Chains A and B, each alone.
Chain A
Amino acid sequence: MPIPGSGLAKGLAVTLRTMTRRSVTAQYPDVQPELPPRTRGVIGLFEENCTVCMLCARECPDWCIYIDSHKETVPAATPGGRERSRNVLDRFAIDFALCMYCGICIEVCPFDALFWSPEFEYAETDIHDLTHERDKLREWMWTVPEPPALDPAAEEPKEIAAARKTAEKLAAQAQEQAQAKEQEGEA
């Protein structure tokens, strides 16, 4: 059986202990919050990577991505070659009044044109102003943080592995050619 009044004393101890600790209040407008790099603040568009494949707009559950584009023909690169057609982005807008920050567009983008940014201070007084166009989305790209570093013993990133293999192959070719030339010279 506990001592009568021990509960009361415990309560007093809890409040006193809390008083000696740092308070948890975030003084937001004065002090910016330290957000983790994967924070879902806003979606940035790296439009140089966009090929207007429309995957993001089609996968968006809210249908809040608006894309307009047209085709341009690119003259043949080599004489006698075939003309190619290329998609040119005319409009890329995301309506953040509709967006539910699911991140499916970013997951689905095959060309790494969409990124999460921790930037969150884009409140507007009119709901229509929450539809942000490509220039604004491009600006937000600058606030996208570097991806977190890989674990020490992690597998090499695919693109680096591919680049390294190509470089090694080229180096090996160059060496072979050099050796062949030497042998010619001796002979």
Chain B
Amino acid sequence: MSSDTLDVVLRLLGVFVVFLVLPLAIGQTEHKVMAHMQGRLGPMYAGGFHGWAQLVADGVKFAQKEDIVPAGADRRVFQLAPAVALLPYLLVLVAIPVGPGNAVGQFVDAGIFFVLAVMGVGVLGSLMAGWASANKFSLLGGLRTAAQLLAYELPMVLTAASVAMAAGTVSLPGIVDAFHWWWVPWQIVGGIVFFTAGLAELQRPPFDMPVADSEIIFGAYTEYTGLRFAMFLLSEYAGIVVLCGLTTVLFLGGWHGPFGADGLGWLWTLLKTAVLAFVVIWLRVTYPRLREDQLQKLAWTVLIPLALAQIALTGVVKVVTQ
């Protein structure tokens, strides 16, 4: 009994540590990769060696700032919004399997449903922030977030359904267990659609119209300061970890690799996640922000038809091979 409790505590602790460390690692990588892609050096001072402690310094800075709630704001909702934005990603992280066997925070039977549903909640944080701020730019940002959520949740769910169909299960470890290498070409379209839609849901550039700082200041986060603002930023990077982890698990075969699948499986998961995170940064540096109508057009006229076509292809192949 007590060993069970210890097991749960250790797992949750592990997930929590990953939740705190990986987003920071990605944030630091983004600082450096983005800088070098633009011919700059990025942070060089904090921590002494190539600015490795830049995000720690940023954290200290955020903690020192005053936490302001605007006079006209809906106080409770305003203060709650950052937590609503951040916590779902922690919950999703619990259900993502990193290795074979039971190397997962908590095994969830209908993993895909759980993960997609909870990830959708994260966007509610931005919506709450937008409504509660009593600021027209925040409201615009919040509404853009809502429109983006509506448009991009659909292709995401459809492509996830395609993978679930292929594997014949909705449990995440089950999907990775059923994975064969030829799934990659088979599900490639779905994978790209899933990844793109996920980027849009995280409001990462080039899909960052909800926070477009040159148009609507900083969207839903305009009125936030200090630690609450830092939580929104952290939720963006936690979202990258979750999205890349999910794409790895669903479309890239998780812990499967050319060798060492049993002992070092978690390393494969981590490596694939890291490569995808690099791609997320790379896309941000390369492409300019889409316009709001282009964003909607991309979702409804490109991604959703592609997702449907992927489902059809999955179905046909599934029927033919059986």
- Main SS of the interface on chain A? helix
Q: Are A25 and B286 in contact (CB under 8 A)?
A: no
**Which of B35-43, B98-106, B109-117, B120-128 lies at the binding interface?**
B35-43
What are the residues of chain B within 8 A of A187 when measuring CB–CB?
none
Q: Are B33 and A11 in contact (CB under 8 A)?
A: no
User: Within the assembled complex, what's the spacing in Å between the Cα atoms of A83 and B44?
Assistant: 67
Give the residue of B40, B41, B282 whose beta carbon is less than 8 angstroms from that of A15: B282
Asked if A24 lies at the interface with its beta carbon under 8 angstroms from chain B, I say yes
What are the residues of chain B within 8 A of A8 when measuring CB–CB?
287
Q: Are B287 and A23 in contact (CB under 8 A)?
A: no
Given A19-B33, A19-B36, check contact A25 B41 (CB 8 Å).
yes
What are the residues of chain B within 8 A of A19 when measuring CB–CB?
33, 36-37
What are the residues of chain B within 8 A of A21 when measuring CB–CB?
39
Q: Interface size class for chain B?
A: 10 to 19
**Residues in A1-59 with C-beta less than 8 Å from chain B:** 8, 11-12, 14-16, 18-19, 21, 23-25, 27
User: Within the assembled complex, what's the spacing in Å between the Cα atoms of A18 and B282?
Assistant: 12
Give the residue of B36, B39, B286 whose beta carbon is less than 8 angstroms from that of A11: B286
Interface 0/1 of B21-51, CB less than 8 Å to A: 0000000000001011111110010000000
Min CB gap B36→A, angstroms: 5
Asked if B18 lies at the interface with its beta carbon under 8 angstroms from chain A, I say no
User: Within the assembled complex, what's the spacing in Å between the Cα atoms of A11 and B286?
Assistant: 6
Q: Are A18 and B39 in contact (CB under 8 A)?
A: yes
> B41 — nearest CB in chain A belongs to which residue?
A25
Q: Are B39 and A24 in contact (CB under 8 A)?
A: yes
Min CB gap B69→A, angstroms: 39
What are the residues of chain B within 8 A of A27 when measuring CB–CB?
41, 44
User: Within the assembled complex, what's the spacing in Å between the Cα atoms of A23 and B32?
Assistant: 11
Min CB gap B81→A, angstroms: 33
Q: Interface size class for chain A?
A: 10 to 19
User: Within the assembled complex, what's the spacing in Å between the Cα atoms of A30 and B28?
Assistant: 23
Give the residue of A12, A23, A25 whose beta carbon is less than 8 angstroms from that of B282: A12
> A13 — nearest CB in chain B belongs to which residue?
B286
User: Within the assembled complex, what's the spacing in Å between the Cα atoms of A15 and B44?
Assistant: 21
Give the residue of A14, A23, A24 whose beta carbon is less than 8 angstroms from that of B286: A14
Interface 0/1 of B132-158, CB less than 8 Å to A: 000000000000000000000000000
> B44 — nearest CB in chain A belongs to which residue?
A27
User: Within the assembled complex, what's the spacing in Å between the Cα atoms of A25 and B51?
Assistant: 15
Asked if B233 lies at the interface with its beta carbon under 8 angstroms from chain A, I say no
User: Within the assembled complex, what's the spacing in Å between the Cα atoms of A122 and B40?
Assistant: 27
User: Within the assembled complex, what's the spacing in Å between the Cα atoms of A14 and B287?
Assistant: 11
Give the residue of B33, B37, B40, B285 whose beta carbon is less than 8 angstroms from that of A25: B40
> B284 — nearest CB in chain A belongs to which residue?
A15
What are the residues of chain B within 8 A of A16 when measuring CB–CB?
37, 282
Min CB gap B284→A, angstroms: 10
Q: Are A23 and B44 in contact (CB under 8 A)?
A: no
What are the residues of chain B within 8 A of A14 when measuring CB–CB?
286
User: Within the assembled complex, what's the spacing in Å between the Cα atoms of A171 and B68?
Assistant: 91
Q: Are B285 and A15 in contact (CB under 8 A)?
A: yes
User: Within the assembled complex, what's the spacing in Å between the Cα atoms of A15 and B36?
Assistant: 9
Q: Are A12 and B41 in contact (CB under 8 A)?
A: no
What are the residues of chain A within 8 A of B282 when measuring CB–CB?
12, 15-16
Give the residue of B41, B283, B285 whose beta carbon is less than 8 angstroms from that of A23: B41
Q: Are A23 and B33 in contact (CB under 8 A)?
A: no
User: Within the assembled complex, what's the spacing in Å between the Cα atoms of A14 and B41?
Assistant: 17
User: Within the assembled complex, what's the spacing in Å between the Cα atoms of A11 and B285?
Assistant: 10
Known: A11-B286, A19-B36, A19-B37. 8 other contacts (CB 8 A): A11-B287, A12-B283, A15-B286, A16-B37, A18-B39, A23-B35, A23-B40, A25-B39
B-side residues, CB < 8 A to A, are 33, 35-41, 44, 282-283, 285-287
- Could you write out 24 A-B pairs with CB less than 8 Å apart? A8-B287, A11-B286, A11-B287, A12-B282, A12-B283, A12-B286, A14-B286, A15-B37, A15-B282, A15-B285, A16-B37, A18-B36, A18-B37, A18-B39, A19-B36, A19-B37, A23-B36, A23-B39, A23-B41, A24-B39, A24-B40, A25-B39, A25-B41, A27-B44
A-side residues, CB < 8 A to B, are 8, 11-12, 14-16, 18-19, 21, 23-25, 27
Q: Report the 5 A-B pairs with minimum CB-CB distance, sorted nearest first.
A: A15-B37, A25-B41, A19-B36, A19-B37, A11-B286
